[in-house]
Amino acid sequence: MAKKFYAGSHYLGKNFSYDTDGWTVFVFETKEARDEFVNENTEKHEAITRDVARRIVGSNVQEAATATDGMSILEPANGYYNANYWG
């Protein structure tokens, strides 16, 4: 299995516990793609580890959507997904 790189984003900003609703996890094939995404909005996006990604989405990770640029969006196990994220 190839190594993946993760970014977390909270629609209200990064100053929230990973245990709260509102986080979305993004998975990238390369570190460069992840870093570029994080740098697009450093107030809402941050690089995270695989362990933090699992903490946010739970152990039953489900792929919610896959973009054509190699980025996947993971949905939290509780079904909460912030549809307003892209605003």
Work out the average pLDDT over 51-66: 65
Does residue 80 lie in a domain region? no
Contact status, residue 72 vs residue 31, Cβ threshold 8 Å: no
Find the length of the chain. 87
Instruction: Determine, yes or no, domain membership for 27.
Output: yes
The one-letter amino acid code at 47 reads A
pLDDT reading at 62 higher than 70? no
Report residue 51: phi and psi, to 5°. -65, -40
pLDDT value of residue 44 = 92
Question: 70 lies in a domain?
Answer: yes
pLDDT at 47: 96
Indicate the number of domains in the chain.
Answer: 1
Give the pLDDT band (50/70/90) at residue 66: very low
Q: How far apart are the first and last CA of the chain?
A: 33
Report the pLDDT value the prediction gives residue 81, as an integer from 0 to 100. Answer: 42
Does residue 44 or residue 59 have the better pLDDT? Answer: 44
Looking at the domain assignment, is residue 47 inside a domain? yes
Asked if residue 85 belongs to a domain, the reply is: no
Q: Which two tokens stand for residue 37?
A: 């995404």
